[in-house]
């Protein structure tokens, strides 16, 4: 299986709004999907957006549950928040290796997309699944998670990320959450 090089923060492809994927999906797009899945698993990650592999296309693959049989493929995804609750959680990114940060995200979102077979794909996601969807769709809009931080002190090297736990707990208390995501 083909593994792709992952773009690092600073490359212009990560700052641009990605182009919609033409439908029906071409053989080249199907090959890209397969290579993205292999790259995500090899990295290892739980999600990957096409801009992260130097392709400015509105395409993501996610597998928030690594035990799941198959990853979700979302072509031209759109997200809509459900409710007004936001939760704070620690995120990392394959394009920003060795860093983690505390990011607020909608607790529940609705997603609408097309799957790799060209069929409509819609549903609701909450918790970690919703967080992964929002993180990857942000990539399609040229947004990296540090742009979502509320305070620069919420960013740390992964080897120091244990110190973010107290800040995450404080966010949970300030916002009446039982636990941060």
Looking at the annotation, which residues are catalytic?
136
3-state secondary structure of 154: helix
Label residues 116-138 b or e (16+ Cβ within 10 Å = b): beeeebeeebbeebbbbbbbbbb
CB 90 within 8 A of CB 123: no
Residue among 48, 73, 55 at smallest CA distance from 16: 55
Residue among 102, 103, 86, 95 at smallest CA distance from 160: 102
Output the six-digit token pair for 20.
């919609």
**DSSP-assigned letter for residue 52:** G
Beta strands in 12-154 (DSSP E): 47-49, 59-62, 72-81, 86-91, 99-106, 108-114, 120-126
């Amino acid at each position: 299986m083909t593994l792709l090089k992952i773009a690092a923060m600073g490359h212009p492809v990560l700052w641009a709004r990605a182009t919609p994927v033409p439908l029906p999906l071409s053989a080249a797009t199907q090959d890209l999907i397969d290579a993205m899945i292999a790259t995500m698993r090899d990295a290892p990650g739980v999600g990957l957006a096409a801009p992260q592999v130097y392709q400015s296309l509105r395409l993501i693959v996610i597998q928030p549950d690594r035990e799941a049989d198959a990853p979700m493929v979302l072509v031209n995804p759109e997200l809509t928040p459900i409710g007004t609750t936001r939760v704070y959680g620690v995120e990392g990114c394959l394009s920003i290796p060795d860093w983690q940060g505390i990011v607020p995200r909608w607790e529940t979102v609705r997603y609408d997309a097309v799957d790799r077979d060209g069929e409509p794909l819609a549903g609701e996601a909450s918790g970690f699944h919703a967080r992964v969807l929002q993180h990857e769709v942000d990539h399609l809009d040229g947004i990296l998670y540090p742009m979502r931080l509320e305070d620069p002190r919420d960013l740390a090297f992964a080897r120091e990320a244990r110190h973010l736990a107290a800040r995450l707990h404080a966010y949970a208390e300030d916002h009446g959450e039982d636990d941060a995501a």
